[in-house]
Amino acid sequence: MKAFRFIHAADLHLDSPFVGMAELPLGIRESLRQSTFKAMANLVELAIQQSVDFVLISGDVYDLADRSLRAQIRFQKALQRLSAAGIASYIVHGNHDPEDGRAARLNWPTLAYFFSAREVESLPVKLEGKGTVAQIYGISYATAAVTENLAKRITEKYQQNIGSHSDLFRIGLLHTNVEGNQAHANYAPCSIQDLLGSGMDYWALGHVHTRQVLNTEPAIVYPGNLQGRSIRETEAKGCYIVDVSEFGEAKLTFHALDAIRWQQRSISIQGIHTEQELKERFELELEKAREDAAGRASIIRITLTDRGPIHVTLQKKSVLDELITELREDEVRRLENLGSLNVGLIELDGIVETADPLTGNYVWIESVQVHSGLEVDKNLLLDQESFLGDLLRLSESILTDEALLAAFCAETLDPLFTQSKAAKYLSGVGREEHKAWVKAAQELAIDFLAADARWDE
């Protein structure tokens, strides 16, 4: 076997609308909207620079079944660049961009191959000077909600061709949910055992946005999505370059391609007494976030934790709101001074707006969550014979008893399930979030009932 190299990417979600970002400034929103296209451009550049032999894309190229024309044209241009460089691309469609979605009639380059949804197809990879080095088995989604185990169909197709392809590196290209990952819809479900017994040497998977290598021999790989789309997708996003040796061994190297990095940061308020100290802690965390993003822009959520004297001040919402607004304005001015941004500031309802997309390695505060508490001894409160002590002991018993927690949440949240909007949100809430709510309620009780008390040091 001749050694070769390929890229495995998935879940581009081109032209994602970034739902829930309406309150962000105009410049941030526009840079977010461009980020999926920028990440795809980074993918093409990487493929050319690293002289890969071909590119695999494991579904969800677009964000919607009725994909935008802009997204399709941008993808067409990306594949044309790859084709012009002699790099073939192999693509399957997933639940976000199924075959029955509205597609424009465009001319695709000769080296771009889209797998059918009607049946599993088997395509040889022929490289100049190396001959046929691999066989790719793949199938696209016909509709958005595919419940069939497509991995088994790929295995059946391989078994039909086993004699002719036994000496080639075999790749399964599939958009699937392995072992029912609860963070994603259970489309084209399969098990690890289905994949291990398939005869494939490499499973190029898509659908799960968290980067995972589920197995090494054979390699079963989720590269994750190319660009994070919300604060829930905070890790570096990109693709794998896979080097296959002459002995058929696959070596994976991750490459970050995201244009904007989402980050969750925390600041302990322990020992913070003044607004000046709080401001300086924020500024320090912003610079750490900038450094961690390695030259790209960041959108961050900051959580204030622990107990400290500044917590009393934080109860005045205006204090934190004004600090965030000032730090955002400072960030825009920093970009203007660096020449990265040539716009004026526009303030609408306390939010700094910009007329053009923000560029450069900006760090924007998406929000601040206050999970801090008063500077009190919680253990002392738990031991006290008082209304607050009783309340805290009851809440602690709920937190440590899963059955009690389930019963408590069922009773208290039941009235909300009669409201459609609330029910839709609550249906996806798990035990960890229920516990977080109980802990937040504890802190509220301490804030209201212990704020003026004196405590032993």
Torsion of CA 338, 341, 342, 345, to 10 degrees: -110
Question: Is the confidence at residue 417, as pLDDT, over 80?
Answer: no
Q: How far apart are the first and last CA of the chain?
A: 72
Q: 278 with 336, same domain? A: yes
What percentage of the chain reaches a pLDDT higher than 90? 62
pLDDT, averaged across the chain = 88
The larger pLDDT score, comparing residue 215 to residue 405, is at 215
Res 412: pLDDT: 84
Q: 275 with 230, same domain? A: no
Per-residue pLDDT of 265-295, as tens digits, reads: 999 999 999 999 999 999 999 999 999 999 9
User: Last residue of some domain: 370, 400, 419?
Assistant: 370
Average pLDDT over residues 97-118: 94
Q: 194 with 332, same domain? A: no
457 domain-assigned:
no
What percentage of the chain reaches a pLDDT higher than 70? 90
Res 435: pLDDT: 83
* 78: helix, strand or coil: helix
175 domain-assigned:
yes
Question: Is the confidence at residue 184, as pLDDT, over 80?
Answer: no
Average pLDDT over residues 79-92: 98
Kindly indicate the confidence band of residue 335, based on its pLDDT and cuts at 50, 70 and 90: confident
Question: Is the confidence at residue 47, as pLDDT, over 50?
Answer: yes
395 domain-assigned:
yes
**Largest Cα–Cα separation, the chain:** 83
169 domain-assigned:
yes
Question: Is the confidence at residue 347, as pLDDT, over 70?
Answer: no
User: Last residue of some domain: 370, 399, 426?
Assistant: 370
Average pLDDT over residues 397-420: 82
Q: 412 with 319, same domain? A: no
| Chain centre distance of CA 288 | 21
Q: 202 with 307, same domain? A: no
20 domain-assigned:
yes
- Domain of residue 272 covers 260-370
User: Last residue of some domain: 256, 272, 291?
Assistant: 256
| Whole-prediction pTM | 0.85
Angular region, 434: left φ>0, alpha ψ -120 to 50, beta rest = alpha
Per-residue pLDDT of 367-378, as tens digits, reads: 999 999 887 777
C-beta of residue 207 within 8 angstroms of C-beta of residue 94: yes
What is the spatial distance between Cα 310 and Cα 274, in angstroms, rounded to a whole number? Answer: 6
What is the spatial distance between Cα 203 and Cα 136, in angstroms, rounded to a whole number? Answer: 10
Question: Is the confidence at residue 341, as pLDDT, over 80?
Answer: no
DSSP, res 178: B
Look at 64-68, 100-104, 328-332 and tell me which has the smallest mean pLDDT: 64-68
Q: 178 with 312, same domain? A: no
Q: 386 with 366, same domain? A: no
Q: 344 with 292, same domain? A: yes
How many structural domains does the chain have? Answer: 3
Res 73: pLDDT: 96
Closest to 287 in 3D by CA, of 272, 271, 278, 298: 298
Q: 217 with 343, same domain? A: no
Degrees (nearest 5) of the Cα angle 15, 145, 33? 10
Look at 95-99, 309-313, 442-446 and tell me which has the smallest mean pLDDT: 442-446
Kindly indicate the confidence band of residue 384, based on its pLDDT and cuts at 50, 70 and 90: confident
455 domain-assigned:
no
Kindly indicate the confidence band of residue 433, based on its pLDDT and cuts at 50, 70 and 90: confident
Kindly indicate the confidence band of residue 34, based on its pLDDT and cuts at 50, 70 and 90: very high
Q: 407 with 364, same domain? A: no
Average pLDDT over residues 296-314: 94
Angle, in degrees to the nearest 10, between helices 387-400 and 402-413: 110
426 domain-assigned:
yes
**β-strands 212-216, 219-222: how paired?**
antiparallel
Average pLDDT over residues 80-91: 98
Res 203: pLDDT: 98
Question: Is the confidence at residue 351, as pLDDT, over 60?
Answer: no
Kindly indicate the confidence band of residue 421, based on its pLDDT and cuts at 50, 70 and 90: low
Per-residue pLDDT of 134-150, as tens digits, reads: 999 999 999 998 999 99
Res 231: pLDDT: 92
Kindly indicate the confidence band of residue 164, based on its pLDDT and cuts at 50, 70 and 90: low
456 domain-assigned:
no
The larger pLDDT score, comparing residue 436 to residue 308, is at 308
Q: 187 with 325, same domain? A: no
| Chain centre distance of CA 244 | 28
Q: 394 with 298, same domain? A: no
